[in-house]
Amino acid sequence: MSRIAVIAGEGQLAPAVVGALDAPLVYALDGLAPDVAAEPFRLERLVPFLDQLADKGVEQVVFAGAIRRPRLEPELFDPRTMQLVPRIVAAMQTGDDAALREVLAVFEESGLRVMSVDQVLPELVAAEGVLAGEPTAHDRADADEAARLMTELGRLDIGQGLVVAQGLCMAVESLPGTEAMLAFVGQHRELRPNPKGAKGVLYKAPKPGQDRRIDLPTVGPDTVRQAAAADLAGIAWQARGVIMLDRARMVAEAEEAGLFLWARP
């Protein structure tokens, strides 16, 4: 009988995916702390791990949540996984996205089909439209500028989000993540040129050419609360390119906080 395995990363996406599937097997890279029970595995023993999945009848795999680059311990490599090291190291030298794509290729070479979260749970990805509130003309202009900047930054493999207020970029998401970026924006809200002008927009989108099967950007109720604390006007994101966690709660909290939510074309 075919089974599906979830490779759980950090954040709330993994619990949402695991809860929506029928008895999946759940694993996580050793050293990560996902918010769901998961059996650990090590990248240094990737080939034996793939053999284990095959022995358990797994044919499909879903990566769910943020995955940080692990520290590799050379003495832990088994001989077959060691043969993959040149490929993975070469990919790492061109960026995290390339390294992840190489890992996905290894999974597929083992006969596993790697599925994107939106293939398994399409209801988590919002189509175009305003879901809460109503962005003003100034908000839409800020979102347009954010989308332009995001395209340029994404090509450099830098984050999946940024904040634009009154046409100026106030912060860019980097390794510490969205919460840290929004905390910075909240601490420096006085940098907006006109204190009574547009408050600013959080914008999220995949990187250009990003493999949608792994590390799609995510928004959820926590994002709404953090954006409200940063005194922003709302959240915009690339339609069909960002995962919404707990949509009903997210919309309710945005309406209560007076924020707009916009899945932008």
Domain final position from 120, 139, 159: 120
- Give yes or no: residues 169 and 241 share one domain: yes
Specify the higher pLDDT residue, 209 or 9: 9
- Give yes or no: residues 185 and 244 share one domain: yes
Mean pLDDT of 236-258: 95
- Give yes or no: residues 108 and 49 share one domain: yes
Which pLDDT does position 208 carry in this prediction?
Answer: 83
Which pLDDT does position 97 carry in this prediction?
Answer: 67
Whether pLDDT at 1 is above 60: no
Q: What is the C-alpha separation between 206 and 76, in angstroms, rounded? A: 34
- Give yes or no: residues 176 and 242 share one domain: yes
User: Would you say 36 and 26 are in contact if contact means Cβ atoms under 8 Å apart?
Assistant: yes
Per 3-state DSSP, the chain is made up of helix, strand and coil in percentages (nearest 5) of 40, 25, 35
Mean pLDDT of 38-50: 93
Mean pLDDT, the chain, rounded, equals: 91
- Give yes or no: residues 133 and 259 share one domain: yes
- Give yes or no: residues 102 and 131 share one domain: no
Domain final position from 105, 120, 135: 120
For residues 159-189, b (16+ Cβ closer than 10 Å) or e, as one string? bbbbbbbbeebbbebeeeebeebbeebbeee
- Give yes or no: residues 23 and 111 share one domain: yes
- Give yes or no: residues 16 and 100 share one domain: yes
User: Would you say 148 and 264 are in contact if contact means Cβ atoms under 8 Å apart?
Assistant: no
Q: What is the CATH number of the domain that holds 42?
A: 3.40.50.20
- Give yes or no: residues 206 and 233 share one domain: yes
- Give yes or no: residues 131 and 113 share one domain: no
- Give yes or no: residues 246 and 149 share one domain: yes
Q: What is the C-alpha separation between 187 and 133, in angstroms, rounded? A: 25
Which pLDDT does position 101 carry in this prediction?
Answer: 81
Mean pLDDT of 22-36: 91
**Other residues' Cβ atoms within 10 Å of the Cβ of residue 26:** 20
Single-letter amino acid code for the residue at 202: L
Which pLDDT does position 94 carry in this prediction?
Answer: 66
Q: What are phi and psi of 190, to 5 degrees?
A: -70, -10
Mean pLDDT of 3-32: 91
Q: What is the CATH number of the domain that holds 139?
A: 3.40.140.80
Domain final position from 120, 145, 161: 120
Q: Is the dihedral of CA 114, 117, 121, 127 positive or negative?
A: negative
Specify the higher pLDDT residue, 95 or 134: 134
Q: What are phi and psi of 35, to 5 degrees?
A: -85, 40
Question: What range defines the domain where residue 58 resides?
Answer: 3-120
Q: Please count the structural domains in the chain.
A: 2
- Give yes or no: residues 140 and 80 share one domain: no
